[in-house]
Amino acid sequence: MVTAVALVWSACGHGGSSSKGLEVSAAIDIGQSSSGVATGEEAVWVADGESTVVRVDPETNSIAGRISVPSGAKNLAVGEGAVWVTGGSALSRIDPSRNEVTGTVELGEPQGLAAGDGSVWVANRAGNGTLSRVDPKTMEVAATLKVPPMPDDDLALPQEPGQVAVGEGGVWVSDTRVGTVSRLDPDEEQFTQTISRLPPNSRALAIGAGSIWVAAEYFAARADPDRRFPETLEFSDNPLPSGVAVGLGSAWITNVADNTLTRVDPDTNRPTRAIELQETPVAVSVGFGAVWVAGQQGLLTRVDER
């Protein structure tokens, strides 16, 4: 069943002020649970955590296609002319013009991913923690790079890379075990910076407004790409963030503790508006002039500024 419901739910405040409120302008039932959401290539894409990617038309707020991914569909990224999805032990490429999988490569234990700088980048738990560089045209692994440990870490435990993002001078990969984000220079294929003292068990990573944004268990943080230590964001009295995205001049954090989406002002690091969601948020993305939140039970919520 597909529903596109024009609803307006009242925005609740967590401090700060803004002339713009938030409204839920559509709620689209994709018919299955969600694990990730991404925007681009003229559509909003939702992964179900199992074997399907759902394509949603942002103009009509309706489902425009379902793509079966035999290798699994957990994490999503859009870029380099395709939609990318990790699941099981593989990375798959979806051609958005054909709505079908056109390539798959086995990687081991893929986690988060990003596309940019001419490559697809996959965080991989295999090999004691690596970042895989994949050629978007040939689907060949061009490089496998060891994720660096936390500075001054003498334990030499295996790394557990989780999320990837491209921007601010490189490719960034988080380590969910120790709470770090490291920057790779894609030209030299060397890690040049590691930001530590981030919350462990990170769930999402975003780049924008000149910063690195991390959503993790019980905390959200913002980090300057040229400094070692981050700043914790106080966006909720009961923080349990599940996702973070940057766009439309703001940072956006989803919170599973109270099922909310909070807008954060990058100039002040303070929340300006929050809106209650109909179900538990899993992931968030910004695109087509709106914020899109994937829900745990399969509801894709569109939030607009008004």
Are 300 and 284 in contact, with CB atoms under 8 Å apart? no
CB count in 10 Å sphere of residue 287:
20
Q: What is the pLDDT of residues 17-68, one digit of tens each?
A: 445 799 999 999 999 899 999 999 999 999 999 999 999 999 999 999 999 9
Ramachandran class of 214: left when φ > 0, alpha when ψ lies in -120 to 50, beta otherwise: beta
pLDDT of residue 8: 31
Low-confidence ranges of the chain (pLDDT < 50): 1-18
Cβ-based burial of 136 (10 A; exposed 0-12, middle 13-18, buried ≥19) = middle
Q: Which domain holds residue 260?
A: 11-305
pLDDT of residue 11: 44
Q: What is the pLDDT of residues 191-216, one digit of tens each?
A: 999 998 887 788 999 999 999 999 98
Residue of 119, 31, 51 lying closest to 82 (CA atoms): 119
Q: Rounded to 10 degrees, what is the CA torsion of 278, 280, 284, 286?
A: 10
HSE, side-chain direction, 13 A CA sphere, residue 278: 21
Q: Residue 194: inside a domain, yes or no?
A: yes
Question: What amino acid occupies position 257?
Answer: A
Residue of 164, 157, 168 lying closest to 181 (CA atoms): 164
Residues β-bridged to residue 161: 175
Report the distance separating Cα 59 and Cα 43, nearest Å.
9
Report the distance separating Cα 306 and Cα 22, nearest Å.
6
Q: Residue 156: inside a domain, yes or no?
A: yes
Q: Residue 5: inside a domain, yes or no?
A: no
pLDDT of residue 282: 96
Q: Residue 290: inside a domain, yes or no?
A: yes
Residue of 154, 294, 142, 168 lying closest to 225 (CA atoms): 168
Question: What amino acid occupies position 53?
Answer: V
Portion of the chain with pLDDT greater than 70, in percent: 91
Q: Which two tokens stand for residue 209?
A: 């407004």
Tally of structural domains, the chain: 1
Cβ-based burial of 281 (10 A; exposed 0-12, middle 13-18, buried ≥19) = buried
Q: Residue 6: inside a domain, yes or no?
A: no
Task: From residue 48, give the alpha-carbon distance in Å to each of 121, 150, 212, 274.
Answer: 21, 33, 27, 26
Q: Residue 1: inside a domain, yes or no?
A: no
Q: Residue 135: inside a domain, yes or no?
A: yes
Q: Residue 146: inside a domain, yes or no?
A: yes
CATH number, domain containing residue 84 = 2.130.10.10
Place of tokens 């960034």: 172
